Amino acid sequence: MLICYPSLVLLAFLSRGYGSATATPPRGVAQVSRSPATPPSSTPGSDPREGGRGLGKVAAFFVADLGAIVRKQFCFLKCLPRVRPFYTVKCNSSPGVLKVLAELGLGFSCANKAEMELIQQIGVPASKIIYTNPCKQITQIKYAAKHGIRLLSFDNEMELAKVARSHPSARMVLCIATDDSHSLSRLSMEFGASLKSCRHLLENAKRSHVEVVGVSFHIGSGCPDPQAYAQPIADARLVFEMGTELGHRMHILDLGGGFPGFEGAKVRFEEIASVINSALDLYFPEGCGVDILAELGRYYVTSAFTLAVNVIAKKEVLLDQPSREEENGVVSKSIAYHLEEGVYGIFNSVLFDNACPTPILQKKPSTEQLLLHSSSLWGPVLDGWDCVAEGLWLPQLHVGDWLVFENMGAYTVGMGSLLGGTQACRITYAMSRVAWEALRGQLLPTEQDEDIEGVCKPLSCGWEITDTLCVGPVFTPASIM
């Protein structure tokens, strides 16, 4: 049964943005420095009602288009038909996302006991779970053994010793290092065995009676070069040959992650897929008996989530340098806005990925608001690091106004700014009717379907999936609709 909730009309509201902030100053306005030493001394605990907006204590919230996740799966199956996708649970563990991906038949990549428990609670069999943390606690290895999770990764001798004692029936995947020097989030400095050490590790596993069944790698996130996937696949072929020579039954290749999750990324998913397919045809041709996996997190959820966040305080500061506006009798000023979420929570990508969040303005500026002001966005924590964005040019905003940020699905859910006293944001799930029908009937597009996007149109109406997802209706304030 499909139930339509009036609150989901908000989705149409969110998609009709009247404009977005700009990092380019208007003609005649001086550019403001992007590196202030300290945050403005406003009071982020101010009541949003002070701005006259009458919004009370409405908190930030997400709107999740689950249909976007379904469309991503269609695209994946078309571009990488030989690869079996596993979802990286730590990227976004919201119930709606996990349920949809499980319905689509994905496997799950888990980093700890809590994630393994969560996935098994929604009915995913142990055979579809891989425990990918190369540095595991012994108690969590024992948990995996007790619950039938046999596929584990490793990159050092200590892990082999722990697994040999605590999970002797495990099937191990050797994680190799890659050249991730161009990636935003680099992993090989901490994880992954060098090619020189692989033979020693494989020999050690054989002596310890630990079964090694494959090879994995991860090029890191945000790599702008699609060719970065080719060399690790070639290296994996060498490790496969080492393992086979030593008597290991090598039959799993895990391509890791790092795939882009939104349209504006520096490299398109289709470009990466083309490089991967060419490398697989060369080193692991079809029919070679190798099961090929990939671990995708950002790819599925980044573009599916939109965040709405409140302005809770503001401070106006006159610019030090005169501008043409001042010559015409208009005083130019810089405005600092405090949001209820910051870089220690939902906007953590500013710290870890050098992201530059740009808000969408959801109210058509009035005549007096047409003048743009140098603006910065700050979180609720009063220190010099909790700066969400600066160097923006925005019309005059008020306490209680809403800013909307797109592409907020990765490493954000459950990451509320605890230092600022806020709690995890609520999520409203929605899906178009066509996407729902495709999910329910697994009506995957045929090879003759040229327009994958046409199979599941962007949201035209909001539908809550209550019977399959077991996710109850969530509160969306009518006051902002």
Catalytic residues: 90, 218, 295
Cβ(76)–Cβ(421) below 8 Å = no
The C-alpha torsion from 444 through 447 and 449 to 455, rounded to 10°, is: 20
Query: In this structure, how many other beta carbons lie within 10 angstroms of the beta carbon of residue 181?
Result: 11
Of 280, 260, 279, nearest in space to 270 by CA: 260
Nearest to 259 by CA among 286, 236, 228: 228
- The CA-based angle 274-280-283, given to 5 degrees, is 140
d(CA 41, CA 327): 29
* Strand-pair category, 2-3 with 464-465: antiparallel
Distance CA 202, CA 191 (A): 17
CB–CB of 225/271 below 8 Å? no
Give the residue ranges of DSSP H helices in 208-345: 230-245, 269-283, 298-301, 324-327
Measured between alpha carbons, how far is 437 from 425 in angstroms, rounded to an integer? 28
